[in-house]
Amino acid sequence: MADTLYLSLWYPNLRVAALPDKLVAVLSAFAAHGGEAGVYAATVWPVGWSESPIFQQVWGRSGPNAAKGVDPRNAVEAALDPLHDDYAYEFQIGWSLWELENGGELDERWVRQPRLVRVTAFGPLFDDGAYEQDGHIRVDFGHDSPFLEEEVTLDSIAARHIEENVRQLVSLTATIEKDSGATARLLWSELGESLAQRLAARLGTGN
């Protein structure tokens, strides 16, 4: 069963004024690890998730071959002005992984498919201190199917593409941790299952 995959990041004695630089570092890491250089959209949530957004901005593309979105620093500056302790700041950015495109039994091929990743920074007072559990910054990678492909026959080609996706994930999370100065990180799933354990079991069935 597909699960939602998250990365939570914590920073020691973080002050809300330091959030912009941390966010820029996290968002900027994607370009070197299979992602887009520009941020697609930003949303600001006040007080808690039940409230309506007070800011939303979508940056499109000017042409079919144009770069998507805007520079991470510009996106962060637009959304975090003003900066509040009880706000959450959510950004969407593109990230591509290998996935099996199924055009029929005789037309299956692996392609790099783009997906939207959500990067959210939490003010310390947002949603009764949600950062304590979710992290000062949380990355929502979406469903974890590309790292497991549990419905796909695990031949050598599938195993290679799954391995490439996992390496991309590991490399990205390591860069995010280093560049943003996080002192603690946690890769976790919505259902509480370990991706590493599921991956080991998945690859074990193919031996």
Task: Work out how many domains the chain is built from and give that number.
Answer: 1
Which structural domain, as residue segments, surrounds residue 169?
A: 4-204
Q: Which residue has the tokens 């996290």?
A: 26
Strand partners, 95: 35, 115
CB atoms within 10 A of CB 44: 20
- Among 83-97, 98-112, 145-159, 173-187, the range scoring the smallest mean pLDDT is 98-112
Mean pLDDT of 75-100: 95
Using pLDDT thresholds of 50, 70 and 90, give the confidence band for residue 10: very high
Cβ atoms 1, 151 nearer than 8 A: no
Structure tokens at 196: 């590493």
DSSP letter at 102?
Answer: E
Using pLDDT thresholds of 50, 70 and 90, give the confidence band for residue 207: very low
In this model, does residue 70 exceed pLDDT 70?
A: yes
Tell me if the bond preceding 114 is cis, omega within 30° of 0: no
Q: Which residue has the tokens 């990180």?
A: 185
